[in-house]
Amino acid sequence: MAEGLRERKKRETRQRISDIATGLFLEHGFVTVTMADVADAADVSVNTVYNYFPSKEDLFFDRSAGIVERLGRWVRGRDPGEAAVAAVLRELRAEVEAVSPRVGLMLGYDRFMSVIHEAPALRSRLWSIQQEIQDNLEKVLREETGAPADDPAPTLIAGQINWVHQTTMAVIGRRMLAGHNPDEVSREVLLLLDEMEGLLSDTVLNYAVRPSA
């Protein structure tokens, strides 16, 4: 269905507020910048900012919904004969090899990570997002395998897959924060992904294999 004019204007306003806020956070830090500062810079009312973003943390992590659903989306899209973790590893490798900004491989990501490290509220929200990623993945694994609610396997497997994802993102964040080049970090993380895959058990590697046609 085509996007209506009203919806388009709302989306554009939301994006403009987000972009302006990101610039302010990166320049001045998360704690210093207020919602009123964002509203003033975006030439909108404070209420308008709150209508789109209930809190300053929501404004900073404005793309968290897509991140929360990412692992589950990769698992749902796995190929015939491919296990859940294999799909996640394949997608992660593709992003890392492409030196993709979606996994933090970009110039300027060090400042983004610095802002998070300087703000306890953001570190807390990041932890919550990581837990949401695992919870969402567990839900997807239960749906994909038909596992009953009392089966612990989806919980355990989701934890293992999420470990791979979180470790990858954490290493990228630390290396970029230390001032390394994105291409260099990409090469290092590709080797790390191989090492992590080697540490996974056969149970994890063969869980939720999509039947071949």
Interval 45-56: pLDDT, tens: 999 999 999 999
Give pTM, 2 decimals.
0.89
Asked whether residue 1 carries a pLDDT value surpassing 60, the answer given is: no
pLDDT of residue 3: 63
Q: What is the DSSP letter of 32?
A: T
Asked whether residue 136 carries a pLDDT value surpassing 90, the answer given is: yes
Q: Which of 118, 67, 119, 55 is nearest to 95 (CA)?
A: 67
Give residue 166's pLDDT band: very low, low, confident or very high (50, 70, 90). very high
Q: How far, in Å, CA of 2 to CA of 9, rounded?
A: 14
